[in-house]
């Protein structure tokens, strides 16, 4: 089974910029970008990000705002902030060279067991497994696992399978082959079993269970939230707010101030914007307001022409449109 999957991967793997010219830095950036984001979306961002921050040092030295700007549109901005913090840690603790020990990689901000395994196996050829949504789906079908794939006990068992099956000679290719199979053949809906290189070993296919597996928990119910944001303009400049680290959403982002941030009464409504973050559906009322008597430290006046430079989340781009 392993030989068949690796041979298929050698033939069928998709060309992606991070698969050419593999390095720990490139693999790391691509893996972080690919979390919750598709290959098609990531591809142009990857090229631009690498051109702007070609190595760990460049990323570590960059102002946070520049990194967030290069990330604008990819969402889940904590990923970008963690990348920069991790780069600073690599410079401070590893002399700017990406570490090659599992514990040291896992210790970097934003890197969990999956990402550490991906970087170490793909870029360093080290024998660490990966388990992401694609691999979990493939395993749940290959081995006809009928338990909820997100339950802690199942996740533990899946990691053990990943460890046991790992190809010790080609760990990076093996991990990528599993992920590639999940992304292109063993699809969430209607898996293409007729094109599958491991179909003859697949327990779900044997039992006709491939459309029922994996078993997943019920979807989270959407949560509706309302924000009132203030448009405060004076002499061609608009008052922006740097959101703190204690915010629930868009931490560390420049934004329009919310009414709760400032001592200024919301006036007439200018616009209503709808935006979704994970399962939260946020309705944002943008209202005109007057400048507060005292300007808090998190507030700053920004030229109207420079607003798009600061307000990088697509939520604010909708508000500005
Ligand atoms: Fe997935 Fe079908 Fe292949 Fe089984 S045979 S691993 S269900 S694509």
DSSP for 279-290? TEEEEEEEEE-P
Ligand 1 pocket, residue 198 CB under 6 Å: yes
Calculate the average pLDDT of the chain: 93
Note whether residue 21 is domain-resident: yes
pLDDT digits (tens, 9 = 90+) for 148-180: 999 899 999 999 999 999 999 999 999 999 999
Assess whether the C-beta atom of 126 lies below 6 angstroms from ligand 1. no
Domain stop point among 174, 206, 238 = 206
From the CA of 202, give the closest atom in ligand 1.
4
Note whether residue 176 is domain-resident.
yes
Q: Which is more confident, 161 or 279?
A: 161
Q: Please give the structure tokens belonging to residue 142.
A: 């290959």
Clarify whether residues 172 and 200 are in a common domain. Answer: yes
Helix (H) or strand (E) holding 140: helix 133-142
Q: Say if ligand 1 is within 6 A of residue 137 CB.
A: no
Measured between alpha carbons, how far is residue 106 from residues 86, 102, 117 in Å? Answer: 10, 6, 9
The tokens for 152 are 């802690």
Ligand 1 pocket: which of 210, 211, 212, 213 to mutate (most atoms within 8 A of CB)? 210
Cβ atoms of 204 and 142 closer than 8 Å: yes
Is 31 marked active-site? yes
Residues 96 and 161 in one domain: yes
- Alpha helices (H) in 14-74, listed in sequence order: 24-34, 39-52, 56-61, 64-71
Residue 46 backbone dihedrals phi, psi, to 5 degrees: -60, -50
Q: Is residue 217 part of a domain?
A: no
Q: How remote is the CA of residue 156 from the centroid of ligand 1, in Å?
A: 22
Nearest residue (CA) to ligand 1, atom 4:
202
Say what the pLDDT of residue 277 is: 85
- Which pLDDT score, from 0 to 100, does residue 75 have? 85
Gyration radius from the chain CA atoms: 23
Say if ligand 1 is within 6 A of residue 204 CB: yes
279 versus 29: which is more confidently predicted? 29
Give the model confidence (pLDDT) of 57-83 as tens digits: 999 999 999 999 999 888 888 899 999
CA 304/CA 318 separation, integer angstroms: 15
For ligand 1, whether the C-beta of 191 sits within 6 Å is yes
**Token reading at 205:** 């296919």
Residue 233 tokens, joined: 């303009």
Query: Dihedral angle at the C-alpha atoms of 288, 293, 298, 299, nearest 10 degrees?
Result: 40
**How many separate domains does the chain show?**
2
Q: How far apart are CA 242 and CA 76, in angstroms?
A: 17
Residues near 242 by beta carbon (within 8 Å), at least 6 away in sequence:
252, 253, 254, 255, 298, 299, 300
**Residue 194 shares a structural domain with residue 234:** no
Of 147, 181, 206, the last residue of a domain is 206
138 touches ligand 1 (CB under 6 Å): yes
Instruction: Choose among 120, 152, 138, 220: nearest CA to 181.
Output: 138
Atom of ligand 1 nearest to the CA of 213: 7
- Decide: helix, strand or coil at residue 273: strand
CATH number at residue 85: 1.10.340.30
Segment 137-143 mean pLDDT: 97
Q: What is the CATH number of the domain that holds 278?
A: 3.90.79.10
pLDDT tens across 174-231, in order?
Answer: 999 999 999 999 999 889 999 999 999 999 999 999 888 998 877 778 999 999 999 9
What per-residue confidence (pLDDT) applies to 278? 79
DSSP E strand boundaries for the chain = 223-231, 233-234, 237-242, 254-255, 269-277, 280-288, 299-303
The proportion of the chain whose per-residue pLDDT surpasses 70, expressed as a percent, equals 100
The closest residue, in CA terms, to atom 1 on ligand 1 is 186
């Amino acid at each position: 089974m392993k030989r068949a999957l690796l041979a298929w991967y050698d033939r069928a793997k998709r060309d992606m910029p991070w698969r050419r010219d593999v390095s720990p830095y490139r693999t790391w950036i691509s893996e972080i970008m690919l979390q919750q984001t598709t290959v098609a979306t990531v591809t142009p961002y990857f090229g631009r990000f690498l051109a702007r921050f070609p190595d760990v040092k460049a990323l570590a030295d960059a102002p946070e705002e520049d990194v967030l700007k290069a990330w604008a549109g990819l969402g889940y901005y904590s990923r970008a902030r963690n990348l920069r913090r991790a780069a600073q840690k690599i410079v401070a603790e590893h002399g700017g060279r990406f570490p090659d020990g599992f514990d040291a990689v896992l210790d970097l901000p934003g890197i969990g067991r999956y990402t550490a395994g991906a970087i170490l196996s793909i870029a360093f050829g080290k024998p660490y497994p990966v388990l992401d949504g694609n691999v979990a789906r493939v395993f749940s079908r290959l081995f006809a696992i009928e338990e909820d794939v997100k339950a802690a006990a199942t996740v533990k068992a899946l990691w053990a399978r990943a460890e046991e099956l790992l190809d010790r000679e080609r760990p990076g290719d093996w991990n990528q082959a599993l992920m590639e199979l999940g992304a292109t053949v063993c699809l969430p809906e209607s898996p293409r079993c007729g094109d599958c290189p491991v179909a003859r070993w697949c327990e779900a296919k044997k039992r006709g269970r491939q459309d029922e597996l994996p078993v997943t928990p019920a979807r989270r119910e959407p949560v509706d939230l309302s924000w009132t944001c203030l448009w405060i303009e004076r002499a061609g400049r608009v008052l922006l707010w740097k959101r703190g680290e204690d915010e629930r959403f868009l931490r560390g982002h420049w934004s329009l101030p919310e009414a709760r941030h400032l001592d200024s009464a919301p006036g007439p409504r200018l616009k209503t914007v709808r935006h979704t973050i994970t399962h939260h559906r946020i309705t944002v009322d943008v209202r005109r307001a007057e400048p507060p008597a005292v300007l808090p430290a998190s507030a700053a006046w920004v030229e109207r022409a420079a607003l798009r430079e600061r307000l990088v989340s697509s939520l604010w781009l909708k508000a500005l449109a």
